[in-house]
Amino acid sequence: MSMPITRTFVTRLKELKKRNFKPHICKMSLILVVSHIKVIKNKKHMEVHRMKEQVAQSLKKSHDEMALIQVGYLIKEEEFLTVCDLIDLYCRFIIDRLQIITRQTDCPIDLMEAISGIIFASEKCNIQGLPDLQDIFLVKYGKEFVSSILELRPSSAVHPLIVEKLSPKAPDFEIKVRVLSSIAIDNGMNWEPESLDKPNEIAKNIQVVRNMQENSLESITHYDEDSMDCGNTSWDRKLLQSSNLQKHNRNDIKTMSSNKESIRTSSPSTQKIKDVQFPLFCCFGVR
């Protein structure tokens, strides 16, 4: 099955180089995109089911922060599935009205949303065959038409739902909590979002940490500037002072050690001990 598909792709690319629109190539590319979307949806549905189970396990273990992170990825996967459903409908709609595209030079009004959605999604999501459709519509309608859709100009007819679902923005906190509560209800849990920190409190904590870091950096830079502004003379003075302190400390240590030795020799207890130890050693020698 893979050999004829690769051959048709090679022939289609050769014909695209001639800058001519071929309806049968467009139809074949649309059918291939539909088949790829079917495979992708089956895989994504399995991943979504597995991710819901992981979120439910995190909620059962009272790991609410971990569940909040996991549900963010879950929402993005479900949004991608919604985009796949829309592109599937667009491709089938264009296949049914392909004769109208071949007859008219400009894009038909009733197909404007479908063609715009496919061109916009070709740059945002990784679905095999969509870049080829973008090249086909580029040959048919020109570079200005495609660039207006990719830049989301007022003349483009991209559905706002596709723009929202394909945006890299993370889901809102309220949406995450809503999905978490629905997963908890499906699994028979009485879960309440009171243990979760709101994003405003998290932002405040992050800002406090950043302010502390900035203050510490400013203090370090001020210290370096003051020390460098003093010049070489200040550094020489500091070195002389440190050397004098070291010499003074050494002299103090020597005097302390000499005093200790004098105290040991002059004490009567040590003299008695010496006098006592001498005959004992002599006695041991006689034995």
Window from 52-61, 72-81, 236-245, 264-273 with minimum mean pLDDT:
264-273
Count of other CB atoms within 10 angstroms of residue 29: 22
Residue 200 scores a pLDDT above 60: no
**Rounded to an integer, what distance in angstroms lies between the CA atom of residue 53 and that of residue 47?**
10
pLDDT tens-place string over residues 39-60: 999 999 999 999 999 999 988 8
Query: Mean pLDDT of all residues in the chain?
Result: 75
Compute the half-sphere exposure of residue 109: CA atoms within 13 Å on the CB side of its CA: 0
DSSP at 169: P
Please, what is the angle between helix 143-150 and helix 112-124, to 10°?
70
Segment 138-145 mean pLDDT: 90
Tokens of 282: 């002599």
Question: How far is Cα 172 from Cα 168, in angstroms, rounded to an integer?
Answer: 12
Q: Is-contact 118 124, C-beta < 8 A?
A: no
pLDDT of residue 257: 57
Please, are residues 176 and 75 in contact by the beta-carbon 8 Å criterion? yes
Q: Is 221 helix (H, G, I), strand (E, B) or coil?
A: helix
What contacts 138, CB < 8 A, 6 or more positions away? 145, 146
**Percent of the chain residues past pLDDT 90, beyond the cut:** 32
Residue with tokens 């479908």: 114
pLDDT category at 202 given cuts 50, 70, 90 is very low
Mind listing the pLDDT tens digit for each residue in 19-45?
678 888 889 999 999 999 999 999 999
